[in-house]
Amino acid sequence: MAGGIRYFWQRISDGIAIQQLWEQFRAEAVAGYRLYSKELESGLSEGEPRRKGFWRVARGLFWAMMMKLSPARRVLLLIALVILFMPKVRIDGENFHFDSNGPALFWAGAILLVLLLLELADRVTMKRDLEIAREIQSWLMPSAPPEIPGVDIAFATRPANTVAGDYYDAFFRPNERLLIVVADVAGKSVPAALLTATLQASLRTLSALPGSLAELVDRVNHYAL
């Protein structure tokens, strides 16, 4: 029995210590709060009571969270919260009837579990798409540096997220001059990766045209604008 519990805990925690799990949770909680707090008014207004300011922030946070969900999931979450905090509620309408009498906590937990499963499914799908995007982005980077007698060239990158805005390249132009490019698109994740792919395609295309390096830079700048 003890061995089974230990194995179960190892699978759940990936063998990470409790302190590390707590630190990871804190980091994720801070990141999640920053995501939602972008839509909130910061701080208390001048002369506003602390309690009133707290409820204003709580209300804004609630709506920020709700609006991140699809309309159907908002309704499910609202029903679960109503059952959870008002277990004896009864709603009657012309085409709608709802009565939470009975195992209220069970139904609230079941709805929240369904919502969690739906959000996890979205997360898994997004993660798979990001893995594909990372693989495509790796194709844009040179797999091996150009061979130049007497010169050693090496490069490597490790994105902070699955995909990033870092870009490097090394290739010969038609005039047989080596062009080495290092760029960093502002931002992270998919938007930065898309801009990186656009830069790579435009740079490769414009580099094939005759002209000096200054002319190439001028063309890239005009294209970027």
Amino acid at 10: Q
Co-location of 152 and 217 in the same domain: yes
Q: How far is CA 143 from CA 156, 176, 178, 220, in A?
A: 10, 20, 16, 24
Q: What integer pLDDT is reported at residue 78 of this predicted model? A: 87
Range of the domain at 88: 69-140
Tell me the torsion sign for CA atoms 9, 13, 15, 17: negative
Residue range 170-221, pLDDT digits in tens:
888 888 888 888 887 777 777 777 888 888 888 888 888 888 888 888 888 8
> Considering the domain boundaries, does residue 45 fall inside one?
no
pLDDT digits (tens, 9 = 90+) for 122-169: 888 888 877 887 777 777 777 777 888 888 888 877 766 667 777 888
Burial class (CB in 10 A: 0-12, 13-18, 19+), 205: exposed
Q: Name every residue whose Cβ is closer than 8 Å to that of residue 50 and which is 6 or more positions away in sequence.
A: 44
- Above pLDDT 70, what percent of the chain? 80
Q: Tell which of 109, 140, 171 closes a domain.
A: 140
End residue of a domain, out of 80, 105, 140: 140
The total number of structural domains in the chain stands at 3
pLDDT tens-digit map of 40-75: 655 545 666 666 667 777 787 788 888 888 888 888
Alpha-carbon gap, residue 220 to 165, rounded angstroms: 17
Domain harbouring 208, CATH code? 3.60.40.10
